C-alpha cells in the first residue's frame, strides 16, 4: 500500500513539475498557412491539458482576445475561417487549462497575423473601410449604379469613390460591374434596377466576376441586408 502511495505522490509531483514547465514555456501559436479567408495555426500541445485558441473579433471592432475558436484536450492545431476578410489582422493567444480542476495553467503572449491579400479590394485599408461602413456600403454602391445608369461605368466608379473611402483600384470594380450589367442585363434592369428580374440577371451574369474583382467574400456583402451582393436589386420588388 505504501509503495502505491509513494508512486502516486511521485506521479502527481511529476505532473505538477510538467505543468509548471508548461506555464513557463507555453509559446504562442505558429502560423502554418495564410489564405484570404482562413488562417491555419499549429503549436506544441500538451496531451494532458485542455488547449484553447483565442482570437479577437476584428470584423466586430473588438480587440479583446477572448473569442474561443478551437478547444480540445491535447489540441495542437486550429483553422480560423469565419468572418475574416483579405489582409485583415487576427490577434491570437493560446490558453492551457487543467481539465480536472478547470484552472488556467498557462497563457501565451498574444501575437498578430494577417490573412492574404486577394482581388482589387483585398488590402488592409479597403478591408477596414468595408468593416467600418458595412451598414451602408451596399446602399451607397446601389445609388451610384442607379444614378449613373445612363452615364456609364466611369460615372459609377467616380461615384463610388466619392461616396466611400475605398481605393481607386477597388472602385474600378464597379465600373467593370456596370459594364457587365449593361452588356447582359439592359432589358431586365433598364427601367427597374431594384427589381427581382434585374437582381436575377445580374446575379447570374455579373456577380461571380464582380466578387472576383473585389476579392471580398460573399458574406461581407450581406451585412446590410438586401439581395444583390454588388448593388443591383438591393431592394427587390
Q: What CATH number is associated with residue 97?
A: 2.60.40.10
Domain count, the chain: 2
Exposed e or buried b per residue across 55-94, where buried means at least 16 C-beta atoms within 10 angstroms of its C-beta: bbebbeeeeebebebbeeeebebbebeebbbbbbbbbbbb
Per the prediction, the chain carries an average pLDDT of 85
Helix (H, G, I), strand (E, B) or coil at 191: coil
Same-domain status, 34 and 99: yes
Give mean pLDDT, residues 193-216: 87
Give mean pLDDT, residues 157-179: 93
Q: How far apart are CA 208 and CA 49, in angstroms?
A: 45
Cβ partners under 8 Å of residue 103, min gap 6: 97
Band the pLDDT of 92: cuts 50, 70, 90.
Answer: very high
Q: Does residue 54 sit within a domain?
A: yes
Q: Does residue 229 sit within a domain?
A: no
Q: How far apart are CA 52 and CA 67, in angstroms?
A: 10
Give mean pLDDT, residues 34-56: 96
Q: Does residue 20 sit within a domain?
A: no
Same-domain status, 152 and 215: yes
Domain boundary among 68, 93, 114: 114
pLDDT for the residue 141: 86
Find where cell 444583390 sits.
Answer: 228
Same-domain status, 133 and 216: yes
Give mean pLDDT, residues 196-220: 89
Nearest partner of 94 among 136, 45, 48, 47, judged by Cα: 45
Domain boundary among 96, 114, 132: 114
User: Which DSSP string do the residues of 82-124 spell out, in sequence order?
Assistant: SS--TT-EEEEEEEEE-TTT--EEEEPPPEEEEPPPBTTTBSH
Q: Is the pLDDT of residue 174 over 60?
A: yes
Q: Does residue 235 sit within a domain?
A: no
Q: Does residue 12 sit within a domain?
A: no
Q: How far apart are CA 90 and CA 37, in angstroms?
A: 11
Same-domain status, 158 and 191: yes
Q: Is the pLDDT of residue 215 over 90?
A: yes
Lowest-pLDDT range, 4-18, 22-36, 74-88?
Answer: 4-18
Q: Is the pLDDT of residue 96 over 80?
A: yes
Same-domain status, 98 and 134: no
Same-domain status, 33 and 60: yes
Which tops the pLDDT comparison, 218 or 225?
Answer: 218
Segments forming the whole domain that contains residue 48: 26-114
Please write down the HEC assignment for all residues of 124-171.
HHHHHHHHHCCCCHHHHHHHHHHHCCCCCHHHHHHHHHHHCCCCHHHH
Contacts of the segment 60-69: beta carbons below 8 A, 24+ positions apart? 61/131, 61/132, 63/91, 65/91, 65/92, 65/93, 65/110
Q: Does residue 227 sit within a domain?
A: no
pLDDT for the residue 22: 46
Q: Does residue 193 sit within a domain?
A: yes
Amino acid at each position: 500500500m505504501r509503495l502505491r502511495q509513494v508512486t502516486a505522490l511521485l506521479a502527481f509531483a511529476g505532473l505538477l513539475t510538467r505543468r509548471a514547465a508548461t506555464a513557463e514555456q507555453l509559446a504562442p501559436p505558429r502560423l502554418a498557412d495564410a489564405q484570404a479567408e482562413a488562417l491555419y495555426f499549429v503549436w506544441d500541445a500538451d496531451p494532458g491539458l485542455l488547449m484553447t485558441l483565442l482570437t479577437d473579433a476584428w470584423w466586430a471592432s473588438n480587440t479583446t482576445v477572448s473569442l474561443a475558436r478551437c478547444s480540445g484536450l491535447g489540441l495542437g492545431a486550429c483553422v480560423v475561417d469565419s468572418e475574416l476578410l483579405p489582409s485583415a489582422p487576427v490577434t491570437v493567444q493560446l490558453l492551457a487549462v487543467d481539465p480536472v480542476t478547470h484552472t488556467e495553467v498557462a497563457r501565451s503572449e498574444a501575437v498578430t497575423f494577417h490573412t492574404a491579400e486577394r482581388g482589387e479590394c483585398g488590402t488592409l485599408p479597403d478591408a477596414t473601410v468595408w468593416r467600418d461602413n458595412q451598414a451602408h456600403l451596399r446602399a451607397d454602391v446601389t445609388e451610384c449604379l442607379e444614378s449613373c445608369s445612363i452615364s456609364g461605368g466611369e460615372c459609377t466608379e467616380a461615384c463610388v469613390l466619392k461616396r466611400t473611402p475605398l481605393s481607386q483600384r477597388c472602385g474600378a470594380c464597379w465600373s467593370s460591374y456596370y459594364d457587365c450589367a449593361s452588356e447582359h442585363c439592359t432589358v431586365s434592369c433598364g427601367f427597374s434596377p431594384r427589381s427581382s428580374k434585374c437582381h436575377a440577371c445580374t446575379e447570374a451574369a455579373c456577380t461571380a466576376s464582380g466578387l472576383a474583382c473585389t476579392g471580398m467574400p460573399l458574406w461581407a456583402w450581406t451585412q446590410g441586408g438586401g439581395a444583390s451582393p454588388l448593388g443591383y436589386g438591393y431592394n427587390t420588388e
